[in-house]
A and B are shown apart, each in its own frame.
Chain A
Amino acid sequence: MSDVGFVAAAVREGRTSADSVAREVGRRLTRSAPLNATLDWSQAILDRQATRLDAMSATQRAARPLAGVPIALKDNIVTTDQPTTCASRILEGYVSPYDATVVTRLRAAGALIASKTNLDEFAMGSSTEHSCRGRVHHPLDPARVPGGSSGGSAALVAAGVVPAALGSETGGSVRQPASFCGVVGIKPSYGRVSRYGLVAFGSSLDQISVFGRTVDDASRVLAVISGHDEHDATSAPLPPLVLETPRRDLRGITVGLPREYFPTDLDGAVRAALDQVRDRVRDLGGTIREVSLPHTRYAVPTYYIVAPAEAAANLARFDGVRYGPRRVGAGGDVEALYRATRGQGFGAEVRRRILIGTYVLSSGYYDAYYRKAQQVRALLADDFRRVFEEQAVDMLLTPTTPTPAFRAGEKTDDPVAMYLADIFTCSINLAALPAISIPAGRSNGLPIGAQLVAPMFAEARMLSAAAALEAALDPTREVR
């Protein structure tokens, strides 16, 4: 049984108390401090949540699918009992006056909110090096990055501090760190999970996503947080996700291998790991079919127009008037206040993206960049539609990342090199599809992830197929 299932059953059945879980999580959070994965946590807050759960009757607890399960939250998901800073100086000390819908649902399901986790500032980055509170260290090699932007959540799950955590995706910010850290990361379909209370970055792309140590761990959490929410106009009018019984085989499933995701210069170990996954698909009775997604090479440039444009608009709200610290500029007027608060409050990568986003939306450049990107985004989405609908492919198999975890500092001076870390993930966000990264093997001790991509709202089948593959793979085995 998974860790989430094990803890929830033990607490529901009274074999252990939520209080003892809370104390153990507190010990683990303390021990994990060198990772710098946690921004805020408090034993008192953990204990308070546990006491409420322990005071319930057995019948009340029995109705809670995540009873006593500690879950960490990326610090761009708002909570009323802990600060939400997005790892930015511009939100230093900010405490939200409301809980995000996912937090309300987790609390109602009996989960313990364990901590708020470190991230690239405002979720902009692929390494969790762009945080005003310092970088997160990879749990297996502190000289390397855990991926990003949800690197803190990934590191805590990989280090065994919590069995599951929430992150957010705009271009791969859960699947990429899941791949780097050797855990499972699920990015649901756009609209599957409410974003009420997720600090907005790229509104046509953002989606709250889940980390777990296993497919089952992450799936159980996704089931709880999914479903329509009237507070989010983009949430799909669908009931909560109902999970399928995990498959034992892949008979009747056609898995497409998009050739553009296996370029000739793909890292040798990543290719070897994916070859093994492809062989397991066949062993399990699945059919492999090579397919083409011809516009793939344009995904990263499209993403780096659409996402910064939306970010420039969304981050206009951080102006020193309504939230966080205020800095009064040299002019002493309100415009100087905006410029000084924003200029000093945002870090280097966020400033770069606001400038790029403003540039591509500005008069004279809008058609050449933003309108063009919308055209190519439609072509990218159509590539996926054709493969799923016209070629009867049930899901796609690709690498999650082009390489295993890279060294800290390796890409910080070259934004374009950093952006290319999202090359196998961001087209899925542009097309609004669900995907999962599962651990597929290791190279020199560093994890490698395999990604499954499914049609819109086909999460249940994707997750049961991923569970079958997970059971057939040895994620700690060195690939050659």
Chain B
Amino acid sequence: MSIRKEDVLHVARLAELDVAEADLETLAEQLGRIVDFVAQLNEVPAGEQAPPFLAGPDSVPLRPDEVRPEALQRGPADFAPEFRQGFFVVPRLGAMEGTE
């Protein structure tokens, strides 16, 4: 199955990832090869089943619901690009907000 440039752009939009126009052809070719490779799984008959497999413990024990001291040695103001008055600051939402 071949992957077209439009498919790459569509998936890149879903993934919130800018992709340079110059990279599109190579990416489409590489993603096509990967998708063809993983499509081998279609050889496994749908009827061939094993008990569902889930990594990890069968159940997750809950911790006591207790307030504990802050585990962070430094607050987010130290590592966030922009942090003010307890909030992460970002540019406005685009077209959804309109202009004032």
Contacts and interface: CB of A to CB of B under 8 A. Distances in A.
B60 interface: yes
A379 B48 contact: yes
Nearest to A231: B71
A301 B41 contact: yes
B20 to A, nearest CB: 8
Interface string B23-56: 0000100110111011111111010111111111
Contacts of A354: 15, 17
Given A305-B41, A333-B92, A97 B15 contact: no
B15 A358 contact: yes
B69 interface: no
Interface stretch (A265-273, A322-330, A443-451): A322-330
Given A354-B17, A355-B8, A416-B34, A298 B44 contact: yes
Contacts, number: 183
Given A335-B16, A339-B16, A415 B33 contact: yes
A368 to B, nearest CB: 8
A97 B75 contact: yes
A409 B83 CA distance: 42
Contacts of B91: 328, 332-334, 336-337
A410 interface: no
B13 to A, nearest CB: 8
Contact of A351 (B17, B34, B39): B17
A436 B7 CA distance: 41
B18 A236 contact: no
B86 interface: no
Interface string A367-378: 011001111111
A180 interface: no
Nearest to A337: B91
Among A80, A332, A381, max chain B CB count under 10 A is at A381
A302 B57 CA distance: 22
27 contacts: A97-B79, A98-B73, A191-B57, A234-B60, A236-B56, A237-B57, A298-B40, A322-B88, A333-B95, A334-B92, A334-B93, A337-B90, A339-B16, A340-B18, A343-B19, A351-B17, A355-B8, A355-B11, A358-B14, A359-B7, A359-B31, A369-B38, A372-B41, A375-B46, A378-B50, A414-B33, A416-B34
Interface of B: 3, 7-8, 11-12, 14-20, 27, 30-31, 33-35, 37-44, 46, 48-57, 60-61, 63, 71-76, 78-82, 88, 90-95
Interface of A: 80, 94-98, 190-191, 204-205, 230, 233-237, 295, 297-298, 300-302, 304-305, 312, 316, 319-326, 328-329, 331-340, 342-344, 346, 351-352, 354-356, 358-360, 362, 368-369, 372-379, 381-382, 414-416, 419, 431-432
Given A346-B17, A352-B31, 12 more contacts: A97-B78, A230-B63, A298-B40, A301-B41, A320-B81, A326-B82, A333-B94, A334-B91, A359-B31, A375-B49, A378-B50, A415-B34
